[in-house]
Structure 1
Amino acid sequence: METLNNLFLIIAAAIRSLFADPHSVWANLTMDVINFIVVVVIIVLAALILILLERKIAGWTSQRTGPNRLGPRGWFQTIADALKLMGKEDVTPAGADKFIFKVAPMIIFSLPMMTLAVIPYGNGMAPIDLDLGIFYFLAISAISTLAFLMAAWGSNNKYSLLGGMRAVAQMISYEIPLLFSLLGVVMITQSFNLGTIVKAQATIPFIVLQPLAFVIYIIAGLAEVNRAPFDLVEADQEVVAGPFTEYTGLRWGLFFLGEYGNMTAVSALAATVFLGGWQGPMFLPGWVWFWLKVGIIIFFMMWVRWTFPRIRVDHLMHLAWKVLLPLSILNIFLTGLGIYIYRFVMGG
């Protein structure tokens, strides 16, 4: 079991041993390239698997079959959809700002790769071990609002711009309670390092100590990745599909991949901060426990999408500013009070 638990560390050490100096510039550069490829593979595989899983869960919740024709039990349906998107015509509107229009989906797709680079998938298995891991994660995630605005503005479509502004307003509003929900954990551990936060949960996961923060994080995370019931940008009752209206083919597909990549990143951070990351009983390797926890959170997000009705935009903003924000501030106050009482009792 020890070998399985450290399997990827053993592989990394074997690759480094191929160099005369295992810690030379070229060895470090090679490992950085390999880490980048691994993160890209995670994003692509996550998208391929989650798209099919979403359809299966949609069929399950509404008592339908779901994809069942192409391949065994419909498992090749996602591959067919990807090939279809690649074959569609890539149309750029005549009046669009071509540079901004084309760059926006690339940014959306690249952001999950940058955030997943600091997630520890096992003990010592973070591609990049940053002391400011949570800070970096939130900072990079916030750039997605700029990408949505770029897509809306670059399309040269007033309805796209309106939808993009609504998306940005929603994402900025929910970023604040999401950030505050993580402060309680930072206060307890006195660290922004994700690896340190996971190790602090060796005895008890922080979902037990911070249940309110976990609920706030999940709700705000759903809104951040524009998942139902918060997907007003591309809602069926809207005139157009927001900033995605003018996109076709592979560029539209990058937005789609970005959504599932962001969902994976949000779930990975929740598993790391609140569910103990790779910590778990020793009969399974740590990296298996990590992905099981991520899978449970993703399943919950998909279940919510196909269970709850979409809410109105004014209710959406009301929930962010008048419910989640005060609750997140209350959680910070209660956490600080709990730390003070604990230190007083232990000191006394």
Structure 2
Amino acid sequence: MIKTLIITMLYYPLLISILEVLIVTIPVLLTVAFVTVAERKTMASMQRRLGPNIVGYYGLLQAFADALKLLLKEYVSPTQANLVLFFLGPIITLIFSLLGFSVVPYGPGLAISDFDLGILYMLAVSSLSTYGILLAGWSANSKYAFLGSLRSTAQLISYELILSSAILLVILLSGSLSLTVNTEAQKAIWYIVPLLPIFIIFFIGSIAETNRAPFDLAEAESELVSGFMTEHAAVIFVFFFLAEYASIVLICILTSILFLGGYLFNFAYIVYLIKEIDFYLYISFVNSNYVTFLSDPLIEGTIYGLTLGLKACIMIFVFIWVRASFPRIRYDQLMSFCWTILLPLVIAFIILLPCILYSFEIISSNVFLL
């Protein structure tokens, strides 16, 4: 009995950590599955088509049918490929796409690891996923896959500079690299209001960073068959597919946290409105029950998570909207747009914003400690 108790105490933190990871990872994978269905239905509606509507109610189970088809599909690997790197590339891409969710604050204190360098960690993790694409394209021993991986690597490295520079301006306002601190700093006003041009630049860089149309030159079907994943099929293709959409969900959540207030939901204002209704309608039930209901920690945490999810869903819809609206551009136009237009604009804002903050003496005290 004592031995069992000691073993349980030793493995208790490990079990808690595994449980936390599962609680975050499983909903993320389910979200990725339904984002694919939402994209197909939304684009079908914009193009006057029906989209998936056979498997499940309103086509909601189409993603699971596609996953089952790919899992049961026979896998054929290229004979001249470097098989170790060929399989390792998609695995690396998927792992580093999912690691970013560990620092996402779904509410006050609701994160797997809420440490002070969350933004730096997320940038580092997103940078490492580039190696998976490069390894997969090079190891396939195919000219289309190799060209796609080179394009993707150059594109991700270029637009990552835009993303990190835009995030630097947000850090100048909040004074911290913590995602929770950045969210709490937007209680007065969301950063999208004073930083609207930076938000637009960040959004353009996000589309390019996730290899989405009209910036999906790494997997341009008309030029490179399917880009860096041309030779991948069956289960390995599922890894790339999940990694791409997991990156979209993560970048939309990051955009919501940095510019749209994250999980912030004004409970005080809602309670005030309820009290006003109670005052005018003389309904004591509203004041005694609904206010208590909203103040419950479990309900409050749920509303925080739903608020962040709703903002992320709006950003995902905008991603789909952009894909359905704009044609694919040439690769040289993509790179010149980054280095000759976006980068000078970001550098100009990096010079302008600190000058404004210093002139009005509103620069955060934490900036001096960075």
Task: Judge conservation of contact 1:231–1:310 (CA < 8 Å) in 2.
Answer: yes
Deviating beyond 4 angstroms after TM superposition, the runs of 4 or more aligned structure 1 residues are 24-27
SS at match of 2:109: coil
Deviation at 1:53, TM superposition (A): 0.2
Contact 2:106 2:263 (C-alpha < 8 Å) held by counterparts = yes
2:222 is the counterpart of 1:237: yes
Q: 1:325 to 1:25 in 2, by over 3 A?
A: farther
User: Which residue matches 2:76?
Assistant: 91
Q: What is the deviation of 1:114?
A: 0.7
Q: Give the aligned partner of residue 296 of structure 1.
A: 314
Deviations 1:226-251, CA, capped at 9 Å, x for gaps: 00000112223214222101101010
Q: What is the 5 A alignment of 1:5-20? A: none
Partner residue in 1 for 2:134:
149
Residue 328 of structure 2 corresponds to residue 343 of structure 1? no
Instruction: State the distance in 2 between where 1:344 and 1:220 align.
Output: 28
> Paired residue for 1:195, among 180, 192, 201?
180
Separation (CA, whole Å) in 2 of partners of 1:328 and 1:46: 32
CA shift at 1:30, angstroms?
2.8
Secondary structure, counterpart of 1:259 in structure 2: helix
* 1:271–1:290 CA contact under 8 A, matched in 2: yes
**Cα distance in 2 between the residues matched to 1:312 and 1:215:** 21
8 Å CA contact 2:173, 2:363 repeated in 1: no
Take 1:185 and 1:28, find their aligned partners in 2: how far apart are those partners?
Answer: 35
Residue pair 1:101, 1:150 contacting (<8 A) in 2 also:
yes
Aligned to 1:10: none
CA 1:345/1:332 → structure 2, altered by over 3 Å: closer, same or farther? Answer: closer
- The RMSD of aligned alpha carbons is 1.9
Q: How does 1:99-110 map to 2 (within 5 A)?
A: 99-110=84-95
Structure 1 distance, partners of 2:124, 2:56, is 41
Residues 130-141 of structure 1 aligned to structure 2 (within 5 Å): 130-141=115-126
Q: Is the 8 A contact 1:153 1:160 kept in 2?
A: yes
**Percentage of pairs with the same residue:** 38
Alignment of 1:197-346 (within 5 A): 197-282=182-267, 285-343=303-361
Aligned to 2:285: none
Partner residue in 2 for 1:112:
97
SS at match of 1:66: coil
Contact between 1:46 and 1:260, CA under 8 Å: does it hold in 2? no
Q: Using a 3 Å threshold, how does the CA distance of structure 1 residues 342 and 42 change in structure 2: closer, same or farther?
A: farther
Distance of 2:363 and 2:236 partners within structure 1: 58
- TM-score, normalized by length of structure 1? 0.90
Please point out which of 63, 66, 69 is paired with 2:48: 63
TM-score (norm 2): 0.84
Unmatched runs of 5 consecutive residues or more in structure 2: 271-299, 365-370
Matched with 2:61 is 76
Equivalent of residue 149 in structure 2, options 158, 164, 172: 164
Counterpart-to-counterpart distance in 2, 1:345 and 1:189:
9
More helix by proportion, 1 or 2? Answer: 2
CA drift of 1:38 comes to 2.0
Q: Distance in 2 between matches of 1:28 and 1:148?
A: 34
Give the C-alpha shift of residue 212 in structure 1: 1.5
- What is the CA distance between 1:311 and its match in structure 2? 0.8
Larger radius of gyration: 2
Contact 2:145–2:224 (Cα < 8 Å) also in 1: no
**1:270/1:178 CA distance change after superposition, 3 Å:** same
Instruction: Give, in angstroms, the shift of residue 275 of structure 1.
Output: 0.7
The question of whether the paired residues in 2 share the 8 Å contact of 1:71 and 1:77 is answered with yes
Is the contact between residue 43 and residue 112 of structure 1 (CA under 8 Å) also seen in structure 2?
Answer: no
For 1:138 and 1:344, the matched residues in 2 are separated by 27
Map of 2:283 onto structure 1: none
For 1:233 and 1:334, the matched residues in 2 are separated by: 34
